[in-house]
Amino acid sequence: MPAAPAALQARLDDLGTPPKEFAHRQDHVTPEGDQGGRYGDARIPLVDVEFVVLDLETTGGSPTNDRITEVGAVKVRGGEVLGSFHTLVDPEIPIPPIITALTGITGRMVAGAEPIQVVLPCLLEFLGGAVLVAHNAPFDRRFLQANLERHGYRRLANRVVCTARLARKLLPRDEVPNVRLATLAAHLGASVTPCHRALTDARATVDVLHALLERAGSYGVLALEDLLEFPTARAGASFKKVHLADRLPRCPGVYLFRDTAGRVLYVGKAKDLRARVRSYFSGDGRAKVADLLRELAAVDHLPCASELEAGVREIRLIQHHRPRYNRRGRNPERYAYLKLTRERFPRLSVVRKVLPDGARYLGPFHSGGQAELVKAAIEDALPLRRCTARIGAKGGGSPCALLELRRCLGPCTGGVAPEVYAALVGRLEAALDGDPAALLAPLRQRMAGYAAEQRYEQAAAARDRLEALTRALAEARRTGALAGADEVVLAVPHPAGREVTVVRRGQLAAVAVLDGDDHAGVERLLAVAGDCQPFDGPPPRHLADEIGLVVRWLEATAGKAELLGVRGRLASLAAGGTVLQVRYDPGRHRHAWPPGEARGRPELRPARRARPRPTPRMARPGRHAATVFDGFSGSPAWR
């Protein structure tokens, strides 16, 4: 395994933990939509959880058109029955004969019963904040929600457990042929036989639930949070390791998966550490994740003050540990650069490192192929030499096809004065430092010429080179503007005050959450901020990912960030800025904003004119009697 760069090793702790006065103040983060009644924090032992097992009998299968005829519910906790709820309900619509044959409930039985609007308040009081359990829970839950909305109640926010899904997870198909309630009750030895009546079926479901929970314990399902996630878990036997996430906080940070020998298997970042780590056991079915969980023995974590800090720490830790299961960011050696060589007649060369040799570099590029594409684009725009032979004072080389095609000045023949070639190189450097029109305009002309001649393959190749060069020049400007500043101090709003971020030479130096008026805290944060690695030219390979992340974060927060201070120069060239916004991706719809056009507030889309309704024509004799329109048909078959 390649060793981490010495500069990186020295910087691993530079994003230092601020002193205690800068402790990361994070409000308790609850996953979006997590409203589980009294069980908002789901890490509760199952023995302490209150369940209400519900069963509804209805006039049919549609919550919109059918109605509830009977409600049965049983409240349990710790294996003991705490109470029950049962009533017939007047559906106020006829009960179909097939439903009567199935359930035994007739219209005469419900004629004197209360309607659902009277039953709902009593049922909701009985349910309270308990966890709702049902066999085929989506059916009962949809009917209950539909009736709540129909009569002006808020939607049910209780957590839901489906015993049918739980049984399918725990019981293999060769053990039980199906997960019907009657089948499970007989297989698991329930004391009650279900008979399509609400209270009887609810009692049978209680026995099934207790039997399933006993089996689930062997998989590590010991808390409510485990039970809620287990039916969707794809980790199989590895789910019992989910307890490794129990001590993780609900805040931004970095997590490290380790094996039994303590080696780091995977490094990741998260907005919510606990929820993200648990998601590996319940929502990711990739074979790679299953292999990772089989080797997992421990989970380390590092809380962070912000998502930016978590992202930077993730990058640094990946480069340091080189985990086997990380792909992105593990090998910074993949980056490539374009080098304008220091020769009598300079040329472009694809290299892997930036050396302190005084040469001009462009990059970094994510791969050598991207660097070659940009190299080809520049050589299409300017007739630089492409041969690698050393050229003496008298030349002496033989002319090549590029010279005949006027794609190269041909310095190898000795027919070009060094001053003429130097002027060509000067045009390239001027385009890299200032207005890039000298590089982009010839490529656009070539692309347009190919398209006009209907040489679309050549036009597409020219477009790809133009896009690659445009992106490279724009990225160089974005990175260079931030990396050129010795120090930038920014503050963005935070629920606990403001999040203060210190960036030095494009690298994250410190971050903390402070009170809005704590100016002395900002000074103390600057004093403890880490030193960052200086460099000239484009970022070195091991800094490329980090600086790119900081640049993207800065662009995303530019509208709400407050600039507290700048040391050095923070500026970007205006020349050619509009040109570099244009993209020539292979897709159809590409947008460019002409100079001076406002981009802040979107304009209203013009109202779409109503299309005239087509006049129906009578069906021809011998065809299906369907109304046929000009362009579409009301029948399944197109005319």
Q: Would you name the residues annotated as active-site residues?
A: 196
**Nearest 5°: phi and psi at 337?**
-135, 155
- What whole-number distance in Å separates Cα of residue 161 and Cα of residue 156? 14
Question: 3-class secondary structure for 414-441?
Answer: CCCCHHHHHHHHHHHHHHHHCCCHHHHH
Whether 545 contacts 560, CB under 8 Å:
no
Q: Compute the Cα dihedral for 105, 107, 109, 115 and give only its sign.
A: positive
Q: Identify which of 185, 198, 195 has the alpha carbon closest to the alpha carbon of residue 102.
A: 195
Copy the structure tokens of residue 212: 């399933």
Kindly provide the residue ranges of all beta strands, DSSP E only, lying in 545-630, ordered along the sequence.
562-568
- What whole-number distance in Å separates Cα of residue 199 and Cα of residue 54? 8
Q: Compute the Cα dihedral for 184, 186, 192, 198 and give only its sign.
A: positive
Copy the structure tokens of residue 19: 């002193």
- What whole-number distance in Å separates Cα of residue 369 and Cα of residue 188? 61
Where would I find the H helices in 322-417?
A: 368-381, 401-404
Q: What distance lies between CA 623 and its chain's CA centroid?
A: 52
Q: What distance lies between CA 178 and its chain's CA centroid?
A: 37
Pairing of the two strands 160-162 and 131-134: parallel
Copy the structure tokens of residue 598: 């406002």
